[in-house]
Protein backbone atom coordinates (compact mmCIF):
# COMPACT_ATOMS: atom_id res chain seq x y z
CA UNK A 1 0.00 0.00 0.00
CA UNK A 2 1.54 3.32 -1.04
CA UNK A 3 1.98 6.33 1.22
CA UNK A 4 0.16 8.88 -0.92
CA UNK A 5 -3.44 7.78 -0.26
CA UNK A 6 -5.69 5.77 2.03
CA UNK A 7 -4.82 4.08 5.31
CA UNK A 8 -1.27 2.76 5.60
CA UNK A 9 0.64 0.04 7.44
CA UNK A 10 4.38 0.38 7.95
CA UNK A 11 7.47 -0.15 10.06
CA UNK A 12 10.08 2.46 10.97
CA UNK A 13 13.80 1.81 10.52
CA UNK A 14 16.71 3.79 11.92
CA UNK A 15 19.24 4.73 9.25
CA UNK A 16 22.80 3.97 10.29
CA UNK A 17 24.26 6.41 7.77
CA UNK A 18 23.31 9.96 6.88
CA UNK A 19 21.91 10.44 3.38
CA UNK A 20 20.74 13.25 1.14
CA UNK A 21 18.82 13.47 -2.13
CA UNK A 22 21.82 12.15 -4.08
CA UNK A 23 20.81 8.70 -2.79
CA UNK A 24 18.32 8.60 -5.67
CA UNK A 25 21.22 7.79 -8.00
CA UNK A 26 21.85 4.49 -6.19
CA UNK A 27 18.20 3.48 -6.48
CA UNK A 28 18.20 4.41 -10.18
CA UNK A 29 21.18 2.08 -10.74
CA UNK A 30 19.08 -0.81 -9.44
CA UNK A 31 15.88 -0.12 -11.31
CA UNK A 32 13.86 -3.28 -12.01
CA UNK A 33 14.24 -4.64 -15.54
CA UNK A 34 11.19 -4.42 -17.86
CA UNK A 35 8.35 -6.78 -17.08
CA UNK A 36 8.65 -8.28 -20.57
CA UNK A 37 11.89 -9.94 -19.45
CA UNK A 38 10.15 -12.00 -16.78
CA UNK A 39 10.63 -15.73 -17.19
CA UNK A 40 10.53 -18.56 -14.63
CA UNK A 41 12.85 -16.58 -12.33
CA UNK A 42 11.50 -13.59 -10.33
CA UNK A 43 12.42 -9.99 -11.18
CA UNK A 44 13.41 -7.71 -8.28
CA UNK A 45 14.57 -4.10 -8.14
CA UNK A 46 13.25 -0.60 -7.52
CA UNK A 47 10.50 1.41 -9.19
CA UNK A 48 9.09 4.85 -8.46
CA UNK A 49 6.56 5.46 -5.73
CA UNK A 50 3.84 6.28 -8.27
CA UNK A 51 3.02 2.72 -9.33
CA UNK A 52 4.70 -0.66 -9.81
CA UNK A 53 5.23 -0.27 -13.57
CA UNK A 54 6.90 3.14 -13.40
CA UNK A 55 10.60 2.38 -13.86
CA UNK A 56 11.64 6.03 -14.17
CA UNK A 57 13.49 6.80 -10.93
CA UNK A 58 14.45 10.48 -11.08
CA UNK A 59 14.75 13.49 -8.80
CA UNK A 60 11.62 15.00 -10.32
CA UNK A 61 9.48 11.94 -9.63
CA UNK A 62 10.94 10.43 -6.49
CA UNK A 63 12.48 13.23 -4.38
CA UNK A 64 9.77 15.30 -2.74
CA UNK A 65 10.98 17.85 -0.22
CA UNK A 66 13.03 16.01 2.45
CA UNK A 67 11.74 12.60 1.29
CA UNK A 68 12.71 9.96 -1.25
CA UNK A 69 9.74 7.85 -2.35
CA UNK A 70 10.27 4.54 -4.19
CA UNK A 71 9.02 0.95 -4.08
CA UNK A 72 10.88 -2.33 -3.82
CA UNK A 73 9.47 -4.27 -6.76
CA UNK A 74 9.03 -7.99 -7.31
CA UNK A 75 7.46 -9.78 -10.25
CA UNK A 76 7.11 -13.53 -10.53
CA UNK A 77 4.99 -16.20 -12.13
CA UNK A 78 3.00 -18.44 -9.83
CA UNK A 79 0.85 -21.46 -10.55
CA UNK A 80 -2.36 -21.45 -8.45
CA UNK A 81 -2.29 -24.36 -6.02
CA UNK A 82 -5.65 -25.81 -7.11
CA UNK A 83 -4.65 -25.67 -10.78
CA UNK A 84 -1.28 -27.29 -10.08
CA UNK A 85 -2.82 -30.13 -8.05
CA UNK A 86 -5.43 -30.83 -10.73
CA UNK A 87 -2.85 -31.04 -13.50
CA UNK A 88 -0.59 -33.24 -11.35
CA UNK A 89 -3.45 -35.67 -10.73
CA UNK A 90 -4.29 -35.66 -14.43
CA UNK A 91 -0.68 -36.42 -15.42
CA UNK A 92 -0.34 -39.07 -12.70
CA UNK A 93 -3.42 -40.88 -14.04
CA UNK A 94 -1.89 -40.85 -17.52
CA UNK A 95 1.38 -42.16 -16.11
CA UNK A 96 -0.37 -44.94 -14.17
CA UNK A 97 -2.16 -46.15 -17.29
CA UNK A 98 1.03 -45.98 -19.34
CA UNK A 99 2.95 -48.03 -16.77
CA UNK A 100 -0.01 -50.31 -16.03
CA UNK A 101 0.55 -50.00 -12.28
CA UNK A 102 -1.61 -48.94 -9.31
CA UNK A 103 0.98 -46.74 -7.59
CA UNK A 104 3.73 -44.44 -8.82
CA UNK A 105 7.14 -44.46 -7.13
CA UNK A 106 8.31 -41.25 -5.45
CA UNK A 107 10.78 -40.45 -8.25
CA UNK A 108 8.03 -40.71 -10.87
CA UNK A 109 5.77 -38.39 -8.87
CA UNK A 110 8.59 -35.83 -8.65
CA UNK A 111 9.09 -36.05 -12.40
CA UNK A 112 5.38 -35.46 -12.99
CA UNK A 113 5.42 -32.35 -10.79
CA UNK A 114 8.47 -31.02 -12.60
CA UNK A 115 6.84 -31.65 -15.97
CA UNK A 116 3.61 -29.89 -14.93
CA UNK A 117 5.58 -26.93 -13.61
CA UNK A 118 7.54 -26.68 -16.86
CA UNK A 119 4.30 -26.79 -18.85
CA UNK A 120 2.20 -24.34 -16.82
CA UNK A 121 4.64 -21.75 -15.50
CA UNK A 122 5.36 -19.96 -18.81
CA UNK A 123 1.61 -19.56 -19.36
CA UNK A 124 0.95 -17.87 -16.02
CA UNK A 125 0.39 -14.08 -15.84
CA UNK A 126 2.91 -12.10 -13.74
CA UNK A 127 2.19 -11.50 -10.08
CA UNK A 128 3.38 -8.06 -8.96
CA UNK A 129 4.13 -6.93 -5.42
CA UNK A 130 5.88 -3.95 -3.90
CA UNK A 131 7.15 -2.65 -0.59
CA UNK A 132 6.68 1.14 -0.52
CA UNK A 133 9.60 3.05 0.98
CA UNK A 134 10.07 6.63 2.08
CA UNK A 135 13.54 7.72 3.15
CA UNK A 136 13.13 10.64 5.56
CA UNK A 137 16.41 12.55 5.24
CA UNK A 138 15.49 15.07 7.95
CA UNK A 139 14.76 12.49 10.66
CA UNK A 140 17.21 9.86 9.36
CA UNK A 141 14.50 7.22 9.17
CA UNK A 142 13.17 4.80 6.60
CA UNK A 143 9.41 4.29 6.53
CA UNK A 144 8.67 1.00 4.79
CA UNK A 145 5.53 -1.03 4.17
CA UNK A 146 7.34 -4.22 5.18
CA UNK A 147 5.11 -5.94 7.73
CA UNK A 148 5.92 -9.66 7.69
CA UNK A 149 9.28 -11.14 8.70
CA UNK A 150 9.95 -12.15 5.09
CA UNK A 151 9.18 -8.65 3.83
CA UNK A 152 11.40 -7.09 6.49
CA UNK A 153 14.29 -9.38 5.59
CA UNK A 154 13.84 -8.65 1.87
CA UNK A 155 13.66 -4.91 2.46
CA UNK A 156 16.72 -4.77 4.74
CA UNK A 157 18.77 -6.78 2.23
CA UNK A 158 17.60 -4.68 -0.72
CA UNK A 159 18.28 -1.40 1.07
CA UNK A 160 21.74 -2.52 2.16
CA UNK A 161 22.67 -3.58 -1.38
CA UNK A 162 21.43 -0.23 -2.70
CA UNK A 163 22.39 2.32 -0.05
CA UNK A 164 25.40 0.55 1.45
CA UNK A 165 24.20 0.42 5.06
CA UNK A 166 21.85 -1.81 7.06
CA UNK A 167 18.72 -0.10 8.43
CA UNK A 168 17.77 -1.06 11.99
CA UNK A 169 14.14 -2.01 12.62
CA UNK A 170 12.59 0.28 15.22
CA UNK A 171 11.22 -1.89 18.02
CA UNK A 172 10.69 -1.30 21.71
CA UNK A 173 14.17 -2.70 22.33
CA UNK A 174 16.05 -0.80 19.59
CA UNK A 175 14.28 2.46 20.48
CA UNK A 176 15.21 2.05 24.15
CA UNK A 177 18.85 1.47 23.24
CA UNK A 178 19.06 4.39 20.79
CA UNK A 179 17.05 6.96 22.72
CA UNK A 180 17.88 6.18 26.34
CA UNK A 181 20.91 3.85 26.08
CA UNK A 182 18.85 1.18 27.82
CA UNK A 183 19.60 -2.46 27.04
CA UNK A 184 16.43 -4.49 27.54
CA UNK A 185 18.52 -7.49 28.61
CA UNK A 186 19.75 -5.54 31.61
CA UNK A 187 16.21 -5.02 32.96
CA UNK A 188 14.68 -7.44 35.43
CA UNK A 189 11.54 -9.15 34.05
CA UNK A 190 8.32 -8.63 36.01
CA UNK A 191 4.55 -8.92 35.81
CA UNK A 192 1.86 -6.41 36.70
CA UNK A 193 -0.46 -8.86 38.44
CA UNK A 194 -1.16 -8.37 42.17
CA UNK A 195 -1.00 -12.18 42.52
CA UNK A 196 2.24 -12.63 44.47
CA UNK A 197 2.38 -16.35 43.71
CA UNK A 198 2.66 -15.69 39.98
CA UNK A 199 6.08 -16.36 38.46
CA UNK A 200 7.65 -13.44 36.56
CA UNK A 201 8.32 -13.92 32.83
CA UNK A 202 11.68 -15.32 31.86
CA UNK A 203 12.52 -12.42 29.54
CA UNK A 204 11.86 -8.69 29.55
CA UNK A 205 8.84 -7.70 27.43
CA UNK A 206 9.38 -3.98 26.90
CA UNK A 207 6.78 -3.52 24.17
CA UNK A 208 3.98 -5.25 26.09
CA UNK A 209 5.05 -3.52 29.30
CA UNK A 210 4.69 -0.19 27.51
CA UNK A 211 1.24 -0.94 26.07
CA UNK A 212 -0.06 -2.13 29.45
CA UNK A 213 1.46 0.89 31.22
CA UNK A 214 -0.12 3.18 28.59
CA UNK A 215 -3.52 1.66 29.27
CA UNK A 216 -3.10 2.42 32.98
CA UNK A 217 -1.92 5.98 32.25
CA UNK A 218 -4.88 6.60 29.97
CA UNK A 219 -7.41 5.35 32.53
CA UNK A 220 -5.90 6.79 35.70
CA UNK A 221 -3.92 9.89 34.79
CA UNK A 222 -5.89 11.44 31.97
CA UNK A 223 -5.29 11.55 28.26
CA UNK A 224 -3.48 14.88 27.66
CA UNK A 225 0.20 14.78 26.76
CA UNK A 226 2.71 16.97 24.94
CA UNK A 227 4.74 16.64 21.77
CA UNK A 228 8.38 17.77 21.82
CA UNK A 229 7.32 21.00 20.06
CA UNK A 230 4.88 21.78 22.88
CA UNK A 231 1.62 20.87 21.16
CA UNK A 232 -0.91 19.03 23.30
CA UNK A 233 -2.34 15.70 22.22
CA UNK A 234 -4.89 13.30 23.62
CA UNK A 235 -5.05 9.52 23.36
CA UNK A 236 -7.63 6.78 23.62
CA UNK A 237 -7.24 2.99 23.68
CA UNK A 238 -9.95 0.61 22.52
CA UNK A 239 -10.56 -2.86 21.15
CA UNK A 240 -10.07 -5.23 19.59
CA UNK A 241 -7.19 -6.10 21.90
CA UNK A 242 -4.78 -9.01 22.28
CA UNK A 243 -3.20 -10.16 25.56
CA UNK A 244 -0.18 -12.43 25.84
CA UNK A 245 1.87 -14.27 28.44
CA UNK A 246 4.34 -17.07 27.92
CA UNK A 247 3.64 -20.02 30.21
CA UNK A 248 0.97 -22.53 31.12
CA UNK A 249 -2.59 -22.30 29.86
CA UNK A 250 -3.73 -20.02 27.03
CA UNK A 251 -0.75 -17.92 25.98
CA UNK A 252 -2.71 -15.46 23.86
CA UNK A 253 -6.22 -14.09 24.30
CA UNK A 254 -8.01 -11.85 21.78
CA UNK A 255 -11.05 -9.81 22.82
CA UNK A 256 -13.31 -8.28 20.20
CA UNK A 257 -16.60 -6.39 19.97
CA UNK A 258 -18.24 -4.38 22.70
CA UNK A 259 -15.85 -2.72 25.17
CA UNK A 260 -13.11 -5.31 25.67
CA UNK A 261 -10.90 -3.09 27.82
CA UNK A 262 -13.75 -2.79 30.32
CA UNK A 263 -14.63 -6.46 30.27
CA UNK A 264 -14.26 -9.06 32.99
CA UNK A 265 -12.12 -11.07 30.59
CA UNK A 266 -9.62 -8.19 30.37
CA UNK A 267 -9.38 -8.06 34.17
CA UNK A 268 -8.87 -11.81 34.31
CA UNK A 269 -6.12 -11.61 31.70
CA UNK A 270 -4.29 -8.94 33.71
CA UNK A 271 -4.71 -10.88 36.94
CA UNK A 272 -3.16 -13.94 35.25
CA UNK A 273 -0.08 -11.92 34.34
CA UNK A 274 -0.94 -11.32 30.70
CA UNK A 275 0.01 -8.01 29.10
CA UNK A 276 -1.31 -6.03 26.15
CA UNK A 277 0.20 -7.18 22.87
CA UNK A 278 -2.03 -5.31 20.41
CA UNK A 279 -4.53 -2.47 20.81
CA UNK A 280 -6.27 0.17 18.74
CA UNK A 281 -4.71 3.55 19.48
CA UNK A 282 -6.39 6.88 18.70
CA UNK A 283 -4.48 10.15 18.77
CA UNK A 284 -5.93 13.66 18.65
CA UNK A 285 -3.78 16.75 18.04
CA UNK A 286 -6.09 19.74 17.97
CA UNK A 287 -8.67 18.89 15.31
CA UNK A 288 -6.43 16.26 13.71
CA UNK A 289 -7.49 12.70 14.56
CA UNK A 290 -5.36 9.62 13.89
CA UNK A 291 -6.21 5.96 14.51
CA UNK A 292 -4.11 2.81 14.11
CA UNK A 293 -3.68 -0.67 15.49
CA UNK A 294 -0.42 -0.77 17.46
CA UNK A 295 1.60 -3.89 18.16
CA UNK A 296 4.02 -4.44 21.02
CA UNK A 297 6.78 -4.72 18.40
CA UNK A 298 5.86 -1.17 17.24
CA UNK A 299 4.31 -2.25 13.94
CA UNK A 300 1.83 0.42 12.84
CA UNK A 301 -1.18 -1.10 11.09
CA UNK A 302 -3.99 0.57 9.13
CA UNK A 303 -3.12 4.11 10.19
CA UNK A 304 -5.88 6.53 9.25
CA UNK A 305 -4.62 10.08 8.76
CA UNK A 306 -6.50 13.39 9.06
CA UNK A 307 -7.98 14.88 5.93
CA UNK A 308 -5.42 17.22 4.40
CA UNK A 309 -5.76 20.58 2.71
CA UNK A 310 -3.24 20.27 -0.11
CA UNK A 311 -4.40 19.91 -3.73
CA UNK A 312 -1.31 18.95 -5.72
CA UNK A 313 0.08 15.39 -5.64
CA UNK A 314 3.41 16.55 -4.21
CA UNK A 315 1.68 18.78 -1.66
CA UNK A 316 -0.59 15.92 -0.56
CA UNK A 317 2.36 13.57 -0.21
CA UNK A 318 4.40 15.96 1.94
CA UNK A 319 1.37 16.74 4.07
CA UNK A 320 0.69 13.05 4.66
CA UNK A 321 4.31 12.41 5.59
CA UNK A 322 4.10 15.24 8.13
CA UNK A 323 0.95 13.64 9.54
CA UNK A 324 2.81 10.32 9.80
CA UNK A 325 5.66 12.10 11.57
CA UNK A 326 3.23 13.65 14.06
CA UNK A 327 1.82 10.21 14.82
CA UNK A 328 5.10 8.39 15.40
CA UNK A 329 6.55 11.39 17.27
CA UNK A 330 3.64 11.25 19.73
CA UNK A 331 4.06 7.50 20.11
CA UNK A 332 7.79 7.83 20.80
CA UNK A 333 7.16 10.70 23.23
CA UNK A 334 4.90 8.41 25.25
CA UNK A 335 7.50 5.66 25.07
CA UNK A 336 10.22 8.01 26.30
CA UNK A 337 8.07 8.80 29.31
CA UNK A 338 7.61 5.09 29.98
CA UNK A 339 11.35 4.43 29.70
CA UNK A 340 12.09 7.24 32.16
CA UNK A 341 9.76 5.61 34.67
CA UNK A 342 10.90 2.06 33.90
CA UNK A 343 14.57 2.83 34.52
CA UNK A 344 14.07 4.97 37.63
CA UNK A 345 14.88 3.11 40.89
CA UNK A 346 12.55 5.49 42.73
CA UNK A 347 9.67 5.87 40.26
CA UNK A 348 9.25 2.32 39.00
CA UNK A 349 8.40 0.57 42.29
CA UNK A 350 5.74 3.23 42.87
CA UNK A 351 4.38 2.73 39.35
CA UNK A 352 4.23 -1.04 39.83
CA UNK A 353 2.38 -0.57 43.13
CA UNK A 354 -0.19 1.71 41.47
CA UNK A 355 -0.70 -0.63 38.53
CA UNK A 356 -1.14 -3.71 40.71
CA UNK A 357 -3.67 -1.84 42.84
CA UNK A 358 -5.44 -0.79 39.62
CA UNK A 359 -5.59 -4.40 38.41
CA UNK A 360 -6.90 -5.62 41.78
CA UNK A 361 -9.50 -2.84 41.76
CA UNK A 362 -10.30 -3.62 38.14
CA UNK A 363 -10.90 -7.28 38.93
CA UNK A 364 -12.98 -6.53 42.04
CA UNK A 365 -15.13 -4.08 40.13
CA UNK A 366 -15.79 -6.56 37.35
CA UNK A 367 -16.53 -9.37 39.82
CA UNK A 368 -19.05 -7.13 41.61
CA UNK A 369 -20.72 -6.18 38.35
CA UNK A 370 -20.85 -9.82 37.32
CA UNK A 371 -22.49 -10.80 40.67
CA UNK A 372 -25.20 -8.19 40.21
Q: Encode pLDDT of 242-278 as tens digits.
A: 999 876 555 888 888 878 787 888 888 888 889 999 9
* Average confidence (pLDDT) over 157-165: 97
- Residue 51 structural domain: 8-78+124-169
Considering the domain boundaries, does residue 2 fall inside one? Answer: no
**Is residue 269 a contact partner of residue 283, using CB atoms and an 8 Å limit?**
no
Considering the domain boundaries, does residue 175 fall inside one? Answer: no
- Statement to judge: residues 117 and 130 lie in one domain: no
What's the structural domain count of the chain? 3
Using alpha carbons, select from 78, 77, 59 the residue that is nearest to residue 68.
59
**Residue count (the chain):** 372
Residue 25 class from Cβ within 10 Å (0-12 exposed, 13-18 middle, 19+ buried)?
A: exposed
- Statement to judge: residues 351 and 300 lie in one domain: yes
Considering the domain boundaries, does residue 174 fall inside one? Answer: no
- Statement to judge: residues 224 and 296 lie in one domain: yes
- Statement to judge: residues 300 and 321 lie in one domain: yes
Torsional class of 249: left (φ above 0), alpha (ψ -120 to 50), beta (otherwise): left
Instruction: State residue 261's pLDDT score.
Output: 82
> Taking all residues of the chain, what is their mean pLDDT, rounded to a whole number?
92
Considering the domain boundaries, does residue 177 fall inside one? Answer: no
- The pLDDT-based confidence of 4 (bands split at 50, 70, 90) is confident
Instruction: State residue 1's pLDDT score.
Output: 46
**What is the model's pTM?**
0.89
- Statement to judge: residues 133 and 106 lie in one domain: no
- Statement to judge: residues 72 and 98 lie in one domain: no
Instruction: State residue 364's pLDDT score.
Output: 62
Using alpha carbons, select from 257, 224, 223 the residue that is nearest to residue 241.
257
Nearest 5°: phi and psi at 368?
-65, -45
The rounded percent of the chain whose pLDDT value lies above 90 is 78
Question: What whole-number distance in Å separates Cα of residue 369 and Cα of residue 303?
Answer: 35
Residues 31-56 pLDDT 10s: 999 999 999 899 999 999 999 999 99
- Statement to judge: residues 58 and 95 lie in one domain: no
* Average confidence (pLDDT) over 3-30: 95
Domain final residue, candidates 136, 169, 202:
169
Domain final residue, candidates 169, 202, 230:
169
- Statement to judge: residues 34 and 95 lie in one domain: no
Amino acid sequence: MAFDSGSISFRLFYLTQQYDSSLIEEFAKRTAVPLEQLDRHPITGWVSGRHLLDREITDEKCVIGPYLHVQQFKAEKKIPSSLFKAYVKLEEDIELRARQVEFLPRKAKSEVKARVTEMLLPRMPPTLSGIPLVVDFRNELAVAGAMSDNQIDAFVMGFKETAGSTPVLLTAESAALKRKHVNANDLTPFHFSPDEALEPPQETTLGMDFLTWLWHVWEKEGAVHHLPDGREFGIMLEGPVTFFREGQGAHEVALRKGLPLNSREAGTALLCGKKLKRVKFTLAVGEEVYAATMDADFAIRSLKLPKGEQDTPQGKFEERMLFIETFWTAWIALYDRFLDARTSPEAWPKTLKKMRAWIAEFDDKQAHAYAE
